[in-house]
């Protein structure tokens, strides 16, 4: 987790330092091992030269069995302070002459004898030991054995290692500085890109561009790509702004109030019609809870729509406010949550609809009365014909039965009834407007 929190620059610096230190460590270890081996080899090589020279000088001694001279030859080695002991062996391997440095503290002790064909031997085993056959013109004369202290060699190796460690420490410091500088150099363009991105995010100014380092490097490619992306983003934003302005103009020009309610219940969109409808400016409405910007019944309706928007794709509702204002609301869910609600003032439309319904009912009643009138007219007309026949027949009977008291009463009743039927027929015809109404004042109380 700590690693993931590290910045790219820190990671890069650590990686560069790690790689550098690893390479330095490996290189220095190899150099140290090689140099130590080289110093040991050099020491043995120098001793070999010394042994060859001394052996060559001892050829005469060995050849003519002059042990004293052999001692003298070996004694010359005292000029080399680190030679602790030396010995000459004749061609049979017998000890011929020997030398021990005065005050030599080492435990070097020459072998009592060697084999006649003792070969080359070079080793560092506490002391540096070199053993060489003494050969002159392909003729072997014996063997020389030299032991030397390794104190000087150890000091030389120690000195070398101290120098190496000092150089290593300096290189570590330099590698740290180098890694830091290199890390900065590498990450500067990236951080510059990040800075541009941050400024764009903060200020929404997509006209900003990252500085492009000329050249074919990856950073230049990245910066170019980033700038191309910014150009595209700027174009898109301009398109979005243009589109938004267009939509805004459409929204504001709409007589229907359009209100956007965000997922958290606050107002995100407030059209000019909404301002006019609820007497709340867009500035006062945006960001406020819907309850704070709309009258209570509207709020309840809007809240209901907002709540239903999550489960229903479209919802609509009409609400009548206390002041008689009637609002029709239709909601549609927004992609990111929340709803957009179109609120229309339908008060006038509602009143007009109600008046229209009243008229329709009146018309229906008139039409019904007209039908009834027509029916009554038809019936009255036919009835009138019947009454006319009855009246004619009754009058004829009156003539014929004049003087007959036993049937005159019946005939008179028929005539009277026919006259009342004719009067009823006339009234029905008047109702159906097929006959002029003979309007006259009546005493309603007498009628009732």
Tell me which residues touch other proteins (CB under 8 A): 59-61, 63-66, 69, 136-137, 139
Beta-strand runs (E) in 91-242: 95-100, 121-125, 127-136, 139-148
343 within 8 A of 274, measured Cβ to Cβ: yes
Report the nearest approach of other proteins to the CB of residue 52 (Å): 14
Per the rule left: phi > 0, alpha: psi between -120 and 50, beta: everything else, 345 is beta
Map tokens 């764009």 to a residue: 200
Which residues, including other chains, have CB under 8 Å from residue 284's CB and lie 6 or more apart?
293
Beta-strand runs (E) in 119-235: 121-125, 127-136, 139-148
Report the nearest approach of other proteins to the CB of residue 59 (Å): 5
C-beta closer to other proteins: residue 35 or 61: 61
- In this structure, the strands spanning 267-270 and 121-125 are unpaired
C-beta closer to other proteins: residue 69 or 156: 69
C-beta closer to other proteins: residue 63 or 280: 63
C-beta closer to other proteins: residue 136 or 431: 136
Report the nearest approach of other proteins to the CB of residue 111 (Å): 21
C-beta closer to other proteins: residue 13 or 61: 61
C-beta closer to other proteins: residue 28 or 89: 89
318 SS3 class: strand
DSSP symbol at 146: E
Report the nearest approach of other proteins to the CB of residue 64 (Å): 5
Report the nearest approach of other proteins to the CB of residue 71 (Å): 13
Which residues, including other chains, have CB under 8 Å from residue 45's CB and lie 6 or more apart?
none
320 SS3 class: strand
Report the nearest approach of other proteins to the CB of residue 60 (Å): 5
Q: Which two tokens stand for residue 95?
A: 């000890």
């Amino acid at each position: 987790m700590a690693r993931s929190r590290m910045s790219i620059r820190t990671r890069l610096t650590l990686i560069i330092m790690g790689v550098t230190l690893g390479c330095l460590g490996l290189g220095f270890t190899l150099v140290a091992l090689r140099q130590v081996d080289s110093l040991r080899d050099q020491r043995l090589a120098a001793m070999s030269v010394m042994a060859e020279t001394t052996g060559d000088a001892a050829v005469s001694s060995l050849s003519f069995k002059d042990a004293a001279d052999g001692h003298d030859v070996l004694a010359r080695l005292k000029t080399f302070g680190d030679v602790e002991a030396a010995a000459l062996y004749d061609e049979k391997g017998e000890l011929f002459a020997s030398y021990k440095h005065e005050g030599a503290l080492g435990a070097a002790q020459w072998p009592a004898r060697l084999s006649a064909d003792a070969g080359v031997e070079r080793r560092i085993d506490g002391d540096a030991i070199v053993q060489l056959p003494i050969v002159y013109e392909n003729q072997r004369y014996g063997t020389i054995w030299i032991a030397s202290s390794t104190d000087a060699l150890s000091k030389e190796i120690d000195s070398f290692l101290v120098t190496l460690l000092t150089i290593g420490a300096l290189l570590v410091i330099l590698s740290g500085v180098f890694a830091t500088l290199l890390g900065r150099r590498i990450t500067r363009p990236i951080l510059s890109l990040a800075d541009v991105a941050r400024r764009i995010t903060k200020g929404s100014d997509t006209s900003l561009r990252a500085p492009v380092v000329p050249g074919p490097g990856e950073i230049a490619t990245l910066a170019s790509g980033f700038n191309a992306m910014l150009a595209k983003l700027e174009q898109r934003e301009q398109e979005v702004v243009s589109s938004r302005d267009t939509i805004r103009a459409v929204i504001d020009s709409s007589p229907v109030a359009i209100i956007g309610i965000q997922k958290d219940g606050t107002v995100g969109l407030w059209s000019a019609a909404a301002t006019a409808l609820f007497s709340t400016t867009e500035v006062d409405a945006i960001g406020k809870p819907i309850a704070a910007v709309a009258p209570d019944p509207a709020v309840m309706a809007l809240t209901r729509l907002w709540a239903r928007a999550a489960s229903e794709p479209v919802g609509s509702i009409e609400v009548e406010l206390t002041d008689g204002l009637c609002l029709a609301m239709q909601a549609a869910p927004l992609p990111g949550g929340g709803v957009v609600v179109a609120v229309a003032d339908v008060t006038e439309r509602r009143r007009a609809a109600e008046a229209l319904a009243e008229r329709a009912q009146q018309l229906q009643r008139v039409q019904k009365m007209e039908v009834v009138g027509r029916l009554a007219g038809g019936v009255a007309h036919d009835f009138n014909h019947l009454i006319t026949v009855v009246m004619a027949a009754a009058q004829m009977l009156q003539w014929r039965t004049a003087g007959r008291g036993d049937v005159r009463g019946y005939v008179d009743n028929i005539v009277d009834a026919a006259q009342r039927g004719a009067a009823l027929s006339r009234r029905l015809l008047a109702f159906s407007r097929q006959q002029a109404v003979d309007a006259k004042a009546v005493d309603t109380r007498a009628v009732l």
